[in-house]
Structure 1
């Protein structure tokens, strides 16, 4: 079969979609890999690595390009900019690809895309960079924010926020962890299969599944090509879910027969985990804002064959009268800045801004004000985010307790494994940090309503 499109051309298309159309990287990449399933494992791995690597190191890459190009990155034509970016990533981070091949392929791609007049420019910039990569001068640590920003390709506003809260070592551990290649984490669906059976099944499929230290049903999965090629995935034996997200159900500790409302549930991992924990009893209602998101939840419900979950469209900022005082557990895993998952969603750090993160605080408070009404007297509200931002986390919880004194923070240490007990710095709150904990960056607070609390009718 003669290929009409090369891996590098596919990478360029993905980068253009992400940087010009504002598509999320994991969606753009998945769409291309789904469309070109005939590509072999090595080609698919190349596309994934160059796409993700270029995005992950983009601030550093742009810094390098600007040292050697008379035309600065932000003044280049978008196609040329992304061709050069992905080529610089290959030059710096992929020893298996000869420098001459990287330069030649970039020039060919520029010509193919209609920029033949710029072939000399592309070739000159890349060959100059290739010759001088080992002698590049990076910003000095005397300007720590600038130094870390270029070294780890992290926007300066994020670094300033973290350095105001954490010490240098912690911040650098987080930054380094975001750039590490790590296996994905999966949760064994215990209503379908035991952990031992799942490990055996995955091994027979050529994948590697190793026990995670925090939870007995969590596994680190690697050595597979394409998730949907795994029969165990298609059979619904496991759900892709970070262990930090699994801790929501552990900390909520729903009892048999409980009614659970998950107010921002897509793609459904926590809802299905709750249902699994309830062993078919009770009822879990998984809500989200759009038909698209709810369809994602329904697909996962169907694949995992849980029977005590239903998904429906509902705007979490709007009170549903019938739900007042009806839930034993409300899960509010709310829209956030996502600064804890930058290792998985590499482009999020470029899309998010300080202003947007502040706007999200107001949205989070608006949703919390609505969904707290669904909690029964004596019931539980779990507030969680996948960010590392005190404004969205601890400060939101303190605000909530002032506004709604019928709630109190519950002690969560008994629901945690030994390695995590000491990470509960404030009663009822857990902030997980990448590079410090073996998980994403994630925040969880457990709030319980007093048993004699009346349900508001306002």
Structure 2
């Protein structure tokens, strides 16, 4: 059993490393837990909660620290700043950790990392926070941008644009949703009754997911990879919003499907299942590591009518011109719809990155339409909520590519069919407003002649 102080040290090192190298937190934390497989479930949960919680609440934690510190967080040494963030998070959010322990362990971390002279600084700030935690003031709604930014740890750049694009009410709903634990959403591919019974016998609660008959939420599963139904390919991990993107394609048996930027393969497998062993899916992504992941999931699921290829979607492939009945273009994006699953994404968002991604998406879309047969369908989707990558790109597609918008209404579940944008060929799903990740789906049909 690891000492709790060692787990805090592990969390500290993780936070510093992720911030220094902009390593995606979901990947870094997964790798750390795999490398420390000897930790108990309780220890893994402690490490994960402390690391993820400190990261996703960074702005709010800095606000609290700055109230009590003469040297503000922006001017602190990175090591001390991260130790204070961790200590403050434990005091404010981790009821299982006594405040005294949070303070003392933070002081020990400072000492162990060679900041002996600053142990009094750390001790004083955290003791003040512990003493005053029920009287700490936060920005009110009169300055709504600051209110959203501090209370929900959303950078002001994002808070401002969401308020402008979606309005104050939806912005707060979305910001609040990002701080909730995201559900484990799965698709049951086959043997539904048997799989549900098997998981319930293993102590897992299986809840019907929104909208689609094969979408479910698992509660109480510590690791889906350890579940026998997952190992034999009866279930795949996939958010219902991603499932809807494939539903929007109207796939029928015998079709040719091209899935661009396909890793980890959830849409590829759903498309192949819809083909029911007929037709073909070509599933592509940019690197060997990504296509290997697709291949592993295909093998686990026993899916045979799929060909996996390493290919840069921004470079045209003349051999496939006019081949596809459906092209699924779920393209690289800013990922701002999945902040709840990848909380570090919000800190790296800026206009330059968004504009660069929008330009890349256009380059790929120019190629995507060339792969379509007559009357072929293009599905353009992202897991983000920016206008530049979604609505602006829809308009650009209409004006620059030989396609027309396709009415989405008949392909969407009954409960979504009143959305007015469906007739215009697109749907923007916002987390919290809808019971799913933030996701954008649009449908286009190749013009004749």
**TM-score, normalised to structure 2's length?**
0.96
Tell me how large the CA RMSD over aligned residues is.
1.5
What residue number does 2:128 align with?
128
What residue number does 1:246 align with?
243
Structure 2 residue runs without a partner (length 5+): none
For residues 261 and 185 of structure 1, the distance between their equivalents in structure 2, rounded to whole angstroms, comes to 25
What residue number does 1:415 align with?
411
For residues 342 and 144 of structure 1, the distance between their equivalents in structure 2, rounded to whole angstroms, comes to 20
Give the C-alpha shift of residue 5 in structure 1.
6.8
| Structure 1 residues 52-201: aligned runs within 5 Å | 52-189=52-189, 193-201=190-198
What residue number does 1:295 align with?
292
Give the C-alpha shift of residue 263 in structure 1.
1.0
1:58-88 per-position Cα deviation (integer Å, ceiling 9, x unaligned): 1111111111112221222222221211111
SS at 2:246 equivalent: helix
Q: Single out whichever of 49-58 and 324-333 deviates more from structure 2.
A: 49-58
For residues 195 and 447 of structure 1, the distance between their equivalents in structure 2, rounded to whole angstroms, comes to 33
Contact 1:184 1:240 in 2 (8 A): yes
Contact 1:218 1:243 in 2 (8 A): yes
Contact 2:334 2:384 in 1 (8 A): yes
What residue number does 1:46 align with?
46
SS at 2:47 equivalent: helix
Change (3 A) 1:2 1:315: closer
Q: Single out whichever of 218-227 and 416-425 deviates more from structure 2.
A: 416-425
SS at 1:252 equivalent: coil
Structure 1 outlier segments of 4+, above 4 Å: 1-5
SS at 1:45 equivalent: helix
Give the C-alpha shift of residue 3 in structure 1.
5.2
Give the C-alpha shift of residue 205 in structure 1.
2.4
1:353-376 per-position Cα deviation (integer Å, ceiling 9, x unaligned): 122111111111111111110011
Q: Single out whichever of 244-253 and 79-88 deviates more from structure 2.
A: 79-88
For residues 32 and 224 of structure 2, the distance between their equivalents in structure 1, rounded to whole angstroms, comes to 15
What residue number does 2:21 align with?
21
1:391-416 per-position Cα deviation (integer Å, ceiling 9, x unaligned): 21111111111112x31111111111
Q: Single out whichever of 68-77 and 429-438 deviates more from structure 2.
A: 68-77
SS at 2:173 equivalent: helix
| Structure 1 residues 58-457: aligned runs within 5 Å | 58-189=58-189, 193-404=190-401, 406-426=402-422, 427-450=424-447, 452-453=448-449
1:15-60 per-position Cα deviation (integer Å, ceiling 9, x unaligned): 1121112110000110111112222222111111111111111111
1:290-348 per-position Cα deviation (integer Å, ceiling 9, x unaligned): 11111111111122121111221111110001010100110110111111111111000
SS at 1:285 equivalent: strand
- Counting matched residue pairs gives 448
Contact 1:214 1:419 in 2 (8 A): yes
Q: Single out whichever of 22-31 and 163-172 deviates more from structure 2.
A: 163-172
1:83-135 per-position Cα deviation (integer Å, ceiling 9, x unaligned): 21111111111122110011111112222223223222211111111111121
Contact 1:235 1:304 in 2 (8 A): yes
Give the C-alpha shift of residue 137 in structure 1.
1.9
For residues 329 and 269 of structure 2, the distance between their equivalents in structure 1, rounded to whole angstroms, comes to 15
For residues 95 and 3 of structure 1, the distance between their equivalents in structure 2, rounded to whole angstroms, comes to 19
For residues 9 and 221 of structure 1, the distance between their equivalents in structure 2, rounded to whole angstroms, comes to 31
SS at 1:221 equivalent: strand
Give the C-alpha shift of residue 424 in structure 1.
4.2
For residues 437 and 4 of structure 2, the distance between their equivalents in structure 1, rounded to whole angstroms, comes to 39
For residues 292 and 298 of structure 1, the distance between their equivalents in structure 2, rounded to whole angstroms, comes to 10
1:380-434 per-position Cα deviation (integer Å, ceiling 9, x unaligned): 0000001111221111111111112x31111111111122112242521111111
Q: Single out whichever of 72-81 and 395-404 deviates more from structure 2.
A: 72-81
Give the C-alpha shift of residue 378 in structure 1.
0.9
Give the C-alpha shift of residue 224 in structure 1.
1.5
